[in-house]
Amino acid sequence: MSFFSPPPPLALAPPPVGLLRRSFLKFTGLGVAGVALAAAGCRISKDEETNSVEVGKHDLAVLNYAYALEQLEGAYYEKVVAGFYAGATAMEKDLLTDIRNDEIAHREWFREVLVLKKVPRLEFDFSSINFTDRRSVLTTARTFEDLGVSAYNGAGQLLTLSPFLNHAGKIVSVEARHAATIRNLLAFGSFADSDVVDANGLDVVRTPPQVMALADKYFVTKVKVDELPTH
């Protein structure tokens, strides 16, 4: 893509476009300053030798970290829905399909909003999961959802721009809804058990390195978050 061609999302913008486009360009870090950003070569490319990507630092890196996690969740549920586990009820299929669609929407939204500076499509390794087994599928889903909630809770303070924080906030409560739902499918009433909600009534918060360490085995393409601040 040429740096000077309009980013694809604008084609979908409704009129009146002028003012909104300007804001959108600012939101995505494009516009005049964005041209400078692009010219500086800030694309994130894969290190083929180590099969890894480095997200960098600052707000766009935090969003890329979130994008990587949404890719993980999206790929996982795509596989779950492609062939449901034995004995899946109509309700379970319906809920898991909804969750898959939410995760795809998150993933594709990040892909578009991060116009230029984004990590590539990542590869995942789900070989540790038995997709024909209900418990294996749902416990993995629970892990991913709880992990996602803790990741967004930890990422909020790393974002300096309010629009980015606001949109991360719009996503994290949906992840919390997923987490509660998966938990209720596994054991009704476990939606907010004490393993995820502490004595003060607070949910889990994790730094990017803590999250990536827990998710590491699923990433074929490794995502390095070492340069991100942790507080």
Judged by CB under 8 A, the chain residues 24 through 43 that form the site for another protein are 24, 26-29, 31, 33, 36-37, 40, 42
Nearer to another protein, 80 or 113 (CB): 113
Q: How many residues in total does the chain contain?
A: 231
Q: How far is it, in rounded angstroms, from Cα 133 to Cα 176?
A: 24
Q: Which of 96, 116, 159, 228 binds another protein (CB under 8 A)?
A: 159
Q: How far is it, in rounded angstroms, from Cα 139 to Cα 149?
A: 15
Size of the site for another protein (CB under 8 A): 82
* CB contact at 8 A, 129 and 140: yes
Residue 81 found at the interface with another protein (CB under 8 A): no
Residue 86 found at the interface with another protein (CB under 8 A): no
Packing angle of the helix pair 162-186, 90-113 (nearest 10 deg): 160
Packing angle of the helix pair 134-155, 208-215 (nearest 10 deg): 160
What minimum distance in Å lies between the beta carbon of 128 and another protein? 26
Residue 13 found at the interface with another protein (CB under 8 A): yes
Judged by CB under 8 A, the chain residues 93 through 112 that form the site for another protein are 95, 98, 101-109, 111-112
Side-chain half-sphere CA neighbours of 150 within 13 A:
21
What minimum distance in Å lies between the beta carbon of 83 and another protein? 18
Judged by CB under 8 A, the chain residues 133 through 152 that form the site for another protein are 149, 152
Judged by CB under 8 A, the chain residues 173 through 202 that form the site for another protein are 173-181, 184, 188-189, 191-192, 196-197, 199-202
Name the strand (E) or helix (H) holding 53: strand 52-54
Residue 123 found at the interface with another protein (CB under 8 A): no
Q: How far is it, in rounded angstroms, from Cα 151 to Cα 65?
A: 9
